[in-house]
């Protein structure tokens, strides 16, 4: 079996497992996996920029929030149906990524991290400033009646899981194809040796901007999906910690691997879920787990699998 065939089998196998889980898991875990798949889309977007391009953004929450507020405000204030509102949300995140990327990519290294963080904080403060519409820290609810497509209530357990699964499957497969395409290989070349990539004739600046725009747009899809499926829009999703979460997920799961984001989100979700039942200091438990994995599995859980078992792992 060729490497490409193994990759296709792996990705379809992961999706098959997720589809089967709906029928075998208790209701609580079905709801948990709906949330995990949505957050994994966010991690997938972040992974393209960090894991494959080598750019560490500390402001990715602005794209997640752009998708979330783009959808929520379009529905609540604009009275739009789900599909047009979702399209506006994704376009909003994409346009924000273009603007932020055009400015932030004038910097490199630590400066890039700081600039993206400042942009995200600006978005957060804008949300608070226009609290009359955004409801600030309190946030607002997207009503159940507003979350339906062609008469299908997306708040039901089955419809929510199916919608999360479809959106995750599309993001997962498209990203898997993208990172194995010539475009993806060029991004890896930039990550490994930017100067050599430039010497080979690649337009590094343009490629970085494209990677950031795709990354931000996918993150916006996750934000819009969260608002659609869970019915809440709040400023906390634009705060600093929501820029740190995708970094933790990707580091835990394996940066630069296609299955790493899903593994990282799933691991962190259930670690926090389990530890929060034992202690209020559940984030300390998560921090210890991250330190241990960084020490003993610096390439993440999927990275360990790639190194020791599946050398072909994409």
DSSP per residue, 177-219: HHHTSHHHHHHHHHHH-HHHHHHTT--HHHHHHHHHHHHHHHH
Q: Worst-scoring range by mean pLDDT, 58-67, 187-196, 282-291?
A: 282-291
**Domain of 103, in residue numbers:** 3-239
> How many other β-carbons are positioned within 10 Å of the β-carbon of residue 2?
8
Tell me if residue 148 falls in helix, strand or coil. strand
- The token pair at 97 is 């990524």
- Residue 3, pLDDT above cutoff 80: no
19-46 average pLDDT score: 94
- Residue 309, pLDDT above cutoff 90: no
Q: Measure the CA–CA gap between 187 and 184, rounded to whole angstroms.
A: 5
Would you say residue 278 lies in a domain?
A: no
Closest residue by Cα to residue 241 from 287, 188, 299: 287
Would you say residue 287 lies in a domain?
A: no
Q: Measure the CA–CA gap between 256 and 294, rounded to whole angstroms.
A: 15
Q: Which pTM was predicted? A: 0.94
> How many other β-carbons are positioned within 10 Å of the β-carbon of residue 262?
24
Quote the Cα angle for 267-28-42, to 5°. Answer: 45
Assess contact for 165 and 225: CB atoms under 8 A: no
pLDDT tens, position by position, 210-257: 999 999 999 999 999 999 999 899 999 999 989 999 999 999 898 889
Residues 6+ apart with CB under 8 A from 270: 32
pLDDT bucket at 266, cuts 50 / 70 / 90: very high
Would you say residue 304 lies in a domain?
A: no
Would you say residue 198 lies in a domain?
A: yes
Q: Measure the CA–CA gap between 252 and 136, rounded to whole angstroms.
A: 32
What is residue 211's predicted lDDT score, i.e. its pLDDT? 96
- Residue 49, pLDDT above cutoff 80: yes
Would you say residue 161 lies in a domain?
A: yes
Would you say residue 267 lies in a domain?
A: no
- Residue 280, pLDDT above cutoff 90: no
Q: Say how many domains are in the chain.
A: 1
Question: Rounded to whole angstroms, what are the CA distances from 224 to 63, 136, 291?
Answer: 10, 18, 32
Tell me if residue 142 falls in helix, strand or coil. coil
Would you say residue 191 lies in a domain?
A: yes
Would you say residue 272 lies in a domain?
A: no
Residues 6+ apart with CB under 8 A from 72: 140, 142, 227, 233
């Amino acid at each position: 079996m060729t490497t490409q065939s193994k990759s296709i089998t792996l990705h379809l196998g992961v999706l098959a497992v997720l589809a089967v889980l709906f029928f075998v898991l208790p209701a609580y875990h079905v709801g948990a996996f709906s949330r995990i798949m949505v957050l994994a889309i966010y991690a997938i977007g972040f992974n393209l920029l960090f894991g494959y391009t080598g750019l560490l953004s500390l402001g990715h929450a602005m794209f997640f929030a752009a998708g979330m507020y783009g959808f929520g405000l379009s529905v609540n204030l604009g009275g739009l149906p789900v599909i047009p509102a979702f399209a506006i949300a994704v376009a909003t995140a994409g346009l924000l990524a273009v603007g932020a990327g055009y400015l932030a990519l004038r910097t490199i290294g630590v400066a890039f991290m700081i600039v993206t963080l400042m942009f995200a904080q600006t978005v957060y403060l804008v949300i608070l400033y226009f609290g009359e519409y955004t409801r600030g820290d309190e946030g607002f609810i997207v009503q159940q009646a507003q979350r339906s497509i062609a008469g299908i209530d997306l708040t039901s357990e089955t419809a929510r899981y199916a919608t999360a699964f479809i959106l995750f499957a599309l993001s997962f497969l498209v990203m898997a194809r993208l990172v194995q395409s010539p475009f993806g290989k060029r991004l890896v070349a930039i990550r490994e040796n930017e100067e050599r990539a430039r010497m080979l004739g690649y337009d590094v600046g343009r490629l970085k901007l494209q990677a950031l725009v795709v990354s931000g747009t996918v993150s916006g899809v996750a934000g819009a999906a969260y608002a659609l499926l869970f019915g809440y829009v709040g400023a906390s999703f634009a705060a600093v910690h929501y820029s740190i979460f995708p970094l933790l997920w990707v580091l835990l799961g394996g940066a630069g691997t296609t299955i790493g984001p899903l593994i990282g989100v799933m691991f962190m979700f259930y670690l926090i879920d389990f530890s929060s039942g034992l202690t209020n200091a559940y984030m300390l438990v998560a921090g210890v787990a991250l330190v241990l994995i960084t020490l003993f599995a610096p390439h993440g859980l999927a990275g360990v699998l790639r190194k020791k078992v599946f050398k072909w792992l994409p």
